[in-house]
Structure 1
Amino acid sequence: MRRLPLWILRSAAAGSLRSPAPSRGGCPVPRAPHLPAEAAAAPAELARWLPRRGYSRFASGFTPLEPKKLGSILDVERAKGLSPEHLVAAWDDYHLGRGHIGVSMKAKLYRLLEQRSATCPYFVIPLWRGSGYTTMFMQVQLPHMIFTGLEDYKARGTQASPYYTVTHFTEFAETKDTVLVRGDVVFTSKLTDAEAKCLLETAHSFYLNDVRYKLVERFNKETHDFEFKDVLQALEMPSM
């Protein structure tokens, strides 16, 4: 696989702004800085050199990507007797303060995620941090999602180690219309729990929101037309 040229991704690299802005729903929303128009320019061929194989090459030999069993997290037999609402509440309560991320989604949304990620498995997401943003590279091969820093991916390619892994559990999709989602931060020095939750919510939104998904499609299928500034605009982040 060809390595990503540094100039291709300079507009998606970590940036800095003058001052942070208050957060909204756990994901900070920055104030727009006074920048010249040329500062908003982003490369048009960001995804041209992305890998076209399964995620195992990206994270080869990385144990957190080994399939997790839901039974190692909760008592599946006992959970079968719970209503969907009580199951979700128990799942959420279990993950509070444990250093992991626990969310849930409807089975219909998971099937949509499955359908869309099958042909568009890659994307880049800016994550607001301090007075600027850093960019994460993500790869989806359900039931897993994996995230690493774009700078690490640029430097190490398929040998880059994931910062964060996500597993979707479908054991209750048919009986309770519920898919349980578990996120594990691999490197706590790279990503906080709050950032991990924000990253997961943002990733899901780009695949499940019809308008945002057009950017994912463009990134994977029409790389010449992809502009990173459109992602920033969708998230109400200023271009660097």
Structure 2
Amino acid sequence: MAAAAIRTQSVLRHVLSCSPRSLRASNQRRWAQVHDVRFLATTQAPRNVIEKYREKLAKKAQEEGLGDINALKEAYKEKIETLRKTADVVIPSSAPAPPPTSSPPPAAEKRIEKRKETESPSGIKPLSSILDLSKVSSLPEKELSAIWRFHHAAKPNSLCAVIPSGTFATIEQTARQFPQFVLPVPHPEQGAEMHFLQWTWDRATKSTTVLFTQLAEYKARGEFAQPHTTVTHYTDLAEEKGVVLMQGQVVEDRGVKVDDARWLVMCLQRFYGGWDGQGGEMGKERQEERRRLLEWFGRGDGRFDVGRLMEEAERMG
């Protein structure tokens, strides 16, 4: 085990030694081809609601005699805060599940408050402090998913997903074998930026968490490096409802956008087997190549190659 760790560190040093300039030069054209990113099992609401509805909001401000959108936001500040607080509760099963961006229905006034529970020693909140498990366990999967999305819809730096438990079991099995890896984030004008990920498990909260850190930050600070994104998977409902609930948080001012974090999570799921079995023979070939890269990195094998890693990530565009 110690020898494997030493070899992994050797591979990390090799990745870190790659010149950012050479990465930009060799991959600028390639990353320019990457477009829309699908996010496994999630229907996260658009994050920048202001931009999407700017025209309607401007018209609303004009109708109410307000100067601009900022004035409209200020006038409705109290109502917005009320809606955000409402998003932090579980809606009764008798109420219809709202779409992620809709206002809560009247029945939400008779909401069920989530139970207050302390975090585990790891600092992770249990799922029961976010949802009332005794209530949501009786809901159909579609309604449960809608509630989970609604809970995160008003939080601009959050990620969420509802993952089939079988899919997550495959991902977790691979993660236990290879709990560390590196992934690239494409920047069309600059090539790619490398990020280091590490899986952790917390038995007290039945959760699995992935920490994402910029590789440059990891190089500079090692084990004291601060992650820019934390993604936690809750398995409380895996057997009963057949789903694993995922939530993530992107830390502000760490140089990473929510879209970058979303891309990293998608890459994580793809490399760790979340999309295995798709794409026929070609898909199987790509699956095997991703598996080889994971194994080579985890075992410190000199065959691990950053160029091949980026080629595989590019195929997800």
Asked whether the two chains share a fold, i.e. TM above 0.5, the reply is: yes
Q: Give 1:158 shift.
A: 1.0
The CA deviation string for residues 163-211 of structure 1, in whole angstroms up to 9 with x for no partner, is 1111100111001110000111124442112211111111111001433
Residue identity in the other structure for 2:307: K
Residue identity in the other structure for 1:213: R
- Which of 11, 17, 22 is equivalent to 1:10? 17
Matched, 1:203 2:297: no
Q: Once superposed, which parts of structure 1, at least 4 consecutive aligned residues long, lie more than 4 Å away?
A: 1-8, 12-15, 18-22
Q: Secondary structure at the match of 2:125?
A: coil
Residue identity in the other structure for 1:232: M
The answer to which structure has the higher helix fraction is 2
The answer on whether the counterparts of 2:38 and 2:266 sit within 8 Å (CA) in structure 1 is no
Q: Which residues in structure 2 correspond to 1:170-189 (within 5 Å)? A: 170-189=235-254
The answer on whether the counterparts of 1:218 and 1:225 sit within 8 Å (CA) in structure 2 is yes
Matched, 1:140 2:199: yes
- Which of 200, 223, 228 is equivalent to 2:301? 223
Q: Which residues in structure 2 correspond to 1:70-219 (within 5 Å)? A: 70-98=127-155, 99-131=157-189, 132-142=191-201, 143-208=208-273, 209=276, 210-211=287-288, 212-219=290-297
Give the gaps of 5 or more residues in structure 1. 28-62
Distance 2:170 2:14 in 1: 34
Q: CA RMSD in A?
A: 2.8
Structure with higher Rg: it is 2
Q: Give 1:65 shift.
A: 5.8
Change (3 A) 1:141 1:213: farther
Q: Give 1:23 shift.
A: 1.9
Change (3 A) 1:12 1:81: farther
Change (3 A) 1:8 1:109: closer
The answer to which structure has the higher strand fraction is 1
Normalised to the residue count of structure 2, the TM-score between the two structures is: 0.57
Residue identity in the other structure for 1:69: P
Distance 1:26 1:109 in 2: 16
Distance 2:181 2:228 in 1: 15
Distance 2:19 2:268 in 1: 16
Q: Which residues in structure 2 correspond to 1:22-61 (within 5 Å)? A: 23-25=35-37
The aligned residue for residue 41 of structure 1 is: none
Change (3 A) 1:135 1:22: closer
Q: Give 1:89 shift.
A: 2.1
Q: Secondary structure at the match of 1:226?
A: coil
Normalised to the residue count of structure 1, the TM-score between the two structures is: 0.74
Aligned length in residues: 202
Q: Give 1:130 shift.
A: 4.6
Give the gaps of 5 or more residues in structure 2. 40-119, 202-207, 277-286
Q: Which has the higher contact order (CA 8 A, sep 6+)?
A: 1
The aligned residue for residue 97 of structure 2 is: none
Distance 2:121 2:212 in 1: 12
Distance 1:159 1:89 in 2: 37
The answer on whether the counterparts of 2:175 and 2:199 sit within 8 Å (CA) in structure 1 is yes
The answer on whether the counterparts of 1:101 and 1:183 sit within 8 Å (CA) in structure 2 is yes
